[in-house]
Amino acid sequence: MSVRKGSLLIIDDEKEIVESLEELLKSAGYQTNTALCAEEGLQKLGREPFDLVLLDVNLPDSNGLDVLRSIKRDSPETAVIMITAYDSSQVAFQASREGAESYITKPWDNDKLLLEIRNLLDRSRLQVENILLRRALKRFGLPNIIGKSERMQRVFDLITQVAPSRATVLITGESGTGKELVAKTIHATSPRADKPFVPVNTGAMPVDLLESTLFGHVKGAFTSAIATKRGLFEVADQGTIFFDEIGTVGVETQAKLLRVIQEREFMRLGGTETIKVDVRILAATNADLKKMVQANTFREDLYYRLNVISIPLPPLRERIEDIPVLVEHFLTKYCAENGREGLTFSPEAMKLLMDHDWPGNVRELENAVERAVILASGPLIGTEALPDQVLENHRCSAPGHAPQEMEGRSLFDIVEEFERKTIMDMLARSGWSQTEAADRFKIPLSTLNQKIKRLRIDIKQHRGT
Ligand SMILES: Nc1ncnc2c1ncn2[C@@H]1O[C@H](COP(=O)(O)OP(=O)(O)OP(=O)(O)O)[C@@H](O)[C@H]1O
Ligand SMILES: [Mg+2]
């Protein structure tokens, strides 16, 4: 940040006042400019940015409050101190409602005024970053990340704090909690926003392919390498690379990744030339990397490199106050997509949505809303438009919690239903990966596979949703 003290504009029609203020501010080291009427002031504001404006309430050609309004509209990062002729709390109140940071009455105390200016400039410097972020969000038309819960507010704060830097960020959370959305938002609100955002799904790729995808290869490096190819690290130069499912990267590739993160350089497969890149690294996982480190399946040094800053995303069931706002958001989205208007959920349907456990988190909720919009026959969406699992599964009712539901059924039947629900939940939480679900259940994959077959759980139906 530059060491300049700040640039100030004085807008006042009384010449003596302008001159004495100018002298005071200049002697305090500020860069100062002046205007004797509203029009001149607004012209100067349009030509160059000012950190702070001292603005007279009574101007010959306009009301100072109107000028204040246009300053706050066109350059909200500029702080404004209103100057009033007499102590009028009415004007002061109005000015602060319109966004003025402070006001002074004539005659003023020089020391107090200088102190006030210094405080405001310090404060506004901190705010500028946030304003830039919000602007970037608008400019890139990102789908908003919705959430009014305290836990999501904490996530938003973290995003705002980490976006301006190049720090590596590890985003953790169950399947469907919004990890990719958060990664995109960090990129879109960072200084790299107009450079590439390159997602890499490490989970789906065998080791060799992953390495040539990331680092590229030279002609002849392997049989099918008929031409030299740039890897994604080169594609992402100046921008951001996002490693989705980082927990699935094999140990060999982990070593290479560690080197790129540390040195920001690598070689193409089969190549001899070292390539340097400036890439910001974001990673996401729904696996417990710490546990993987203990089990020696994930390198500890890589874990610490990635986990410089971590953003944990809470599961939806731990922030049910977000459900109504998310439902509203997705309703608007899917009504627009399907050419429908004014749909709402009936209170009973809304209650079921609130009561559901959402093992697939926001993605599952989004799918349920989309489905309901398509199935809805009238403006009011009833419970019949909700998917079976929402109708059945009221906040993970363990057997024994609802005795009336067990009446007249065999033990075998009840246990089987519970087993089915539990396995479905875990699969949804694991992104429908059987390997991961078996891991979390601490049972062999083959055992889980048998159970899935016996219980006739249809995984294909859920994959890729
Ligand atoms: N807070 C949110 N506000 C609005 N939409 C959200 C929010 N969180 C998630 N979504 C939406 O839910 C869907 C799933 O989000 P995303 O793909 O980012 O999740 P994920 O954590 O990466 O899931 P997975 O682990 O399965 O890859 C996306 O369509 C995303 O836009
Ligand atoms: Mg994802």
Q: Which band of pLDDT confidence, cut at 50, 70 and 90, is reported for residue 124?
A: low
Q: Which of 180, 187, 318, 367 to mutate to test the pocket of ligand 1 (most atoms within 8 A of CB)?
A: 180
pLDDT value at residue 412: 78
Grouping H, G, I as helix, E, B as strand and the rest as coil, residue 219 is: coil
Fold held by 318-454: Helicase, Ruva Protein; domain 3 (1.10.8)
Task: Decide whether any atom of ligand 1 lies within 6 Å of the 247 Cβ.
Answer: no
Over residues 21-36, the pLDDT tens digits come to 999 999 999 999 999 9
Structure tokens at 241: 């690379």
Alpha-carbon distance of 332 to 240, in angstroms, equals: 31
Class of domain 7-134: alpha beta
Q: Is the pLDDT of residue 170 over 90?
A: yes
**Which residues are registered as beta bridge partners of 380?**
344
Reading across the β-sheet that carries 31-35, which strands appear in turn? 31-35, 7-11, 52-56, 79-84, 102-105
**Residue entry with tokens 């596979």:** 449
The residue with greater pLDDT, 47 or 310, is: 310
Q: Positive or negative CA dihedral for 34, 35, 41, 44? A: negative
Task: Decide whether any atom of ligand 1 lies within 6 Å of the 178 Cβ.
Answer: yes
Q: Cβ(288)–Cβ(429) under 8 Å?
A: no
- With b for 16 or more beta-carbon neighbours within 10 A and e for fewer, the 192-227 pattern comes to bbebebbbbebbebeeeebbbbbbbbbeebeeebee
pLDDT value at residue 433: 87
- In the chain, the percentage of residues whose pLDDT exceeds 90 is 46
Q: Which helix (H) or strand (E) holds 83?
A: strand 79-84
Give distance in angstroms: CA of 179 to centre of ligand 2.
6
Domain ranges of the chain: 7-134, 150-312, 318-454
Indicate the Cα dihedral angle 408, 413, 418, 422, nearest 10°.
-160
Nearest 5°: the CA angle 24, 28, 32 is 70
Distances 164 to 49, 136, 139, 161, 318 between C-alpha atoms, Å = 21, 12, 16, 7, 29
Task: Decide whether any atom of ligand 1 lies within 6 Å of the 286 Cβ.
Answer: yes
Task: Decide whether any atom of ligand 1 lies within 6 Å of the 325 Cβ.
Answer: no
Nearest protein Cα to ligand 1, atom 18? 178
Over residues 186-205, the pLDDT tens digits come to 998 888 988 889 999 887 67
Superfamily the domain 150-312 falls into: P-loop containing nucleotide triphosphate hydrolases (3.40.50.300)
Give distance in angstroms: CA of 363 to centre of ligand 2.
10
pLDDT value at residue 103: 85
Q: Is the pLDDT of residue 139 over 50?
A: no
Q: Establish whether domains 7-134 and 150-312 are of one fold.
A: yes
Q: Is the pLDDT of residue 427 over 90?
A: no
Task: Decide whether any atom of ligand 1 lies within 6 Å of the 175 Cβ.
Answer: yes
Residues near ion ligand 2 (Cβ under 5 Å): 180
Alpha-carbon distance of 50 to 28, in angstroms, equals: 16
Q: Which of 285, 317, 366 to mutate to test the pocket of ligand 1 (most atoms within 8 A of CB)?
A: 366
**Residue entry with tokens 């959430």:** 147
Q: Across the chain, what does the average pLDDT equal?
A: 86
Task: Decide whether any atom of ligand 1 lies within 6 Å of the 314 Cβ.
Answer: no
Task: Decide whether any atom of ligand 1 lies within 6 Å of the 431 Cβ.
Answer: yes
Nearest protein Cα to ligand 1, atom 23? 176
Over residues 209-251, the pLDDT tens digits come to 888 889 988 888 787 777 778 889 998 999 999 999 999 888 8
Q: Which residues contact 260 (CB under 8 A, 6 or more apart)?
A: 233, 266, 277, 279
Q: Which band of pLDDT confidence, cut at 50, 70 and 90, is reported for residue 121?
A: confident
Over residues 272-295, the pLDDT tens digits come to 889 999 999 999 999 999 999 999
Which atom of ligand 1 lies at the shortest distance from residue 313's CA? 21
Q: Give the number of other Cβ atoms within 10 Å of residue 97's Cβ.
A: 9
